[in-house]
Amino acid sequence: ISKSHHPRAIEAATKYFLTQATASALVLFSSMTNAWQTGQWDITQLTHPMSCLILTSAVAMKLGLVPFHFWFPEVLQGSPMVTGLLLSTLMKLPPITLLYMTSPSLDPTLLTALAILSVALGGWMGLNQTQIRKILAFSSISHLGWMAIIIVYNPKLTLLNFCLYTVMTAAVFLTLNTTKVLKLTTLMTAWTKTPSLNAMLLLTLLSLAGLPPLTGFLPKWLIIQELTKQDMAPAATLISLLSLLSLFFYLRLAYCTAITLPPHTTNHMKQWRTNKPTNITIAMLTTMSIMLLPISPMILTI
């Protein structure tokens, strides 16, 4: 993060270090409290309520769930695109694994509350952003809410959601890294660089929003189905309605991607097309982000 030596990058690296160090200390404290109360150090069998509460808070802080989310948009804004991609995807894997291992002993009500708040604030706070990295940070918080709500009832769905989210987010980040776009104003004029890539970015963003014919609809559909089976129809309805907030800023991004000329005078010079090398990774990720829904029965059997 701090490789560029920019003050914002140094600030982001410091915030990331302090947050993760605090969360790791809380995980150790949770394990120690459980050992003190029950005499066993196995973190996957937490039986004391206080230990469960501390561990849930620690994992929520590591992931960036509401109300421990304030560090994540700032850190992502101070990071380059590829580093931001790693922070949004691979760096979320260890805390999600910890959540997966300890899910039987966690409080479902607390996780549901954190999840609904994350989806609500992730959508609401992303509405007035113009920096694309901050929009993607709030998008990540919203998606983590969907993962957190189902982890107690069906942990495999959380892993499926995380894998599909990783594929779609990687496609978006790598596309934006190729076109060197950081703001909505530059996104409007980026179509001149790589028109076909921009067209695919439009579909990938709609998939990330969770619209039906695309891959992003699959985890939402399965999670709503599972919540309904668990007699949590009100929570499923609420989280579905709150995800419409994030749909709005995805559509805003998609509109800026699809538009050929901005409706107002822009200060940015049009960036004319150059010979960009073909990137097979982006092509594969984009294809997976758009076209995995028809093979969903096969995914479910794996």
Stretches where the chain sits below pLDDT 50 are none
Q: Quote the number of domains for the chain.
A: 1
Q: Which residue has the tokens 């010979």?
A: 275
Whether 42 is covered by a domain: the verdict is: no
Which domain, by its residues, includes 256?
81-301
Classify residue 131 by its DSSP letter: B
Name 131's bridge partners: 183
Whether 177 is covered by a domain: the verdict is: yes
| Alpha carbon distance 50, 18 (integer Å) | 23
| Alpha carbon distance 221, 236 (integer Å) | 10
Q: Is the peptide bond before 195 cis (omega within 30 degrees of 0)?
A: no
Whether 259 is covered by a domain: the verdict is: yes
Whether 153 is covered by a domain: the verdict is: yes
Whether 1 is covered by a domain: the verdict is: no
CA 147, 69, 112: angle at the middle one, nearest 5?
40
| Alpha carbon distance 36, 282 (integer Å) | 50
Whether 129 is covered by a domain: the verdict is: yes
Q: Which residue has the tokens 């991609």?
A: 85
126: left (phi over 0), alpha (psi -120 to 50) or beta: alpha
Whether 123 is covered by a domain: the verdict is: yes
* Residue 149 near residue 116 (C-beta atoms within 8 A): yes
What's the pTM? 0.89
- SS3 of residue 110 by DSSP: helix
* Predicted confidence (pLDDT) per residue in 18-31, tens digit: 999 999 999 999 98
Whether 247 is covered by a domain: the verdict is: yes
Residue type, 245: L
Phi, psi of 154 (to 5 degrees): -150, 85
Per-residue pLDDT, 100: 92
* Predicted confidence (pLDDT) per residue in 133-156, tens digit: 999 999 999 999 999 999 999 999
Of 43, 220, 97, 93, the residue nearest 149 (C-alpha): 220
* Predicted confidence (pLDDT) per residue in 211-236, tens digit: 888 899 999 999 999 999 999 999 99
